[in-house]
Chains A and B, each alone.
Chain A
Amino acid sequence: MVSDDRTRGQVILIGALSLAFIILGIVVVFNGVLYTETHSSLTTGQGLSDVSVTDQEIEHGLGCMMKYGGKNESSIDQNISKFNTVYQNMTVQSEPSIINISSSPSSVDAGEKTATVAIRYDSLDGTYSRNLTINATEDCPA
């Protein structure tokens, strides 16, 4: 009878100890969740220029190219293709995406000096395509 009562009394102690460990356990789990969340959302920080900057680079690059070398449709088309090779090789090594610029002689107007090019971005986040109309830039940095 006496030993039974004492056993029941110690249940409170053991209960308190378990509660204490549960509280400490919650702290560890919560900390782990926060750590994982912060860690997984860290970006690499390596020169990932966003799409609007890429558009601007291409617009500047092709705009002046058409001013300097826009004799006829097929030569402009070839020059766009050569620009694409250089630009793609250059950006693919510094950005986690592949940028492809394509055009066809039919989308180029040598008289008006405009061209419509298709730009395609491929990255881990997905693929995105758009058409960009390029006008020859007159005030190119000389």
Chain B
Amino acid sequence: MSQADSTVISDSDRGQAYTLEGFISAMIVLMAVLFALQSAVITPTTGGLSDQTVQAQVQQETQDALVVAANNESENLSYMIRYWDGSGGFEDASGPQLEDEGHPTYEVETFEEKFALGDILDKRFSENGQNYNVEAHYEDDDTERDHKTLVYQGAPPSDSVTASYAVTLYDEQSTTGNYSSTLQNIAPDDPTIPNRSTESPVYNVVEIRVIVW
């Protein structure tokens, strides 16, 4: 009797235990699936970096802006980089002056009015709330690298993109501002960009660098 009773009880116990364990297992698996579906994918862009394809696109646009500006009829990059004031800076520049540079930079509005590059950058980037810096990099007569800043809107963040275009200047070209002289006849103290390559028609090669963020 007691033997038969205990068998019946343990059978029903087992049935209930299976059901309970089955429910608990199903809940655990369901929770795991839910958790997995809800978990965010962490990539480098999650930390605030802008998407790589967007960056590549902005860089291409900046590069294109430089190429278009270089081929402009009148206010091209060569014209822009020869717009000297005769005392080591650029004419009509009235913006902030950087600490290690002895000349003011351009206000964005002035830069936009004067040069083709400014016009393109303004239409594409400034009007969309983006910022840019424009720098001219060159080698001086001691083959040391130096640079002048044309437009400065702040220190670029780490996710900014750059594009550059090399412009060649020649001895026989003239400055384009009110201060007028051929490059080869400029007094040694005056040039904004020094003569790098003496004994050849080339005056210097200047890299115009645009940094956008």
Contact = CB atoms under 8 A, between A and B. Distances in A.
Interface in A46-103: 46-47, 49-50, 53, 56-57, 60-61, 64-65, 68-69, 78-79, 82-83, 85-87, 89-91, 93-95
Contacts of A126: none
B190 to A, nearest CB: 19
Contacts, number: 163
Interface size for chain B: under 10, 10 to 19, 20 to 34, or 35 or more residues? 35 or more
Contact of B200 (A50, A60, A64, A83): A83
B202 to A, nearest CB: 5
Contact of A6 (B17, B42, B138, B209): B17
B45 A38 contact: yes
Given A9-B14, A69-B201, A140 B139 contact: no
B149 interface: no
B209 A89 contact: no
A79 B200 contact: yes
B20 to A, nearest CB: 9
* Dominant secondary structure of chain B at its interface with chain A: mixed
Contacts of B173: 140-142
B67 A53 contact: yes
Contact of A20 (B13, B18, B28, B45): B28
A45 B162 CA distance: 6
Nearest to B32: A20
Interface stretch (A23-31, A106-114, A117-125): A23-31
Interface stretch (B55-63, B86-94, B97-105, B119-127): B55-63
A24 B26 contact: no
A29 B172 CA distance: 64
A19 B29 CA distance: 7
A16 B172 CA distance: 83
A75 to B, nearest CB: 9
A79 B55 contact: no
A27 B45 CA distance: 18
Nearest to A42: B52
Contacts of A30: 41
Contact of A16 (B24, B67, B205): B24
A-B pairs with lowest CB-CB distance, top 10:
A16-B25, A69-B201, A20-B32, A61-B168, A68-B201, A82-B200, A141-B78, A47-B164, A57-B166, A38-B43
Interface of B: 10, 13-14, 17-18, 21-22, 24-26, 28-29, 31-33, 35-36, 39, 41-45, 52, 55-56, 59, 63, 67, 70, 76, 78-79, 137-139, 143, 145, 160-168, 170-174, 196-197, 199-202, 204-207, 209
Interface of A: 1-2, 5-6, 9-10, 12-13, 15-17, 19-21, 23-24, 26-27, 30-31, 34-35, 38-39, 41-43, 45-47, 49-50, 53, 56-57, 60-61, 64-65, 68-69, 78-79, 82-83, 85-87, 89-91, 93-95, 140-142
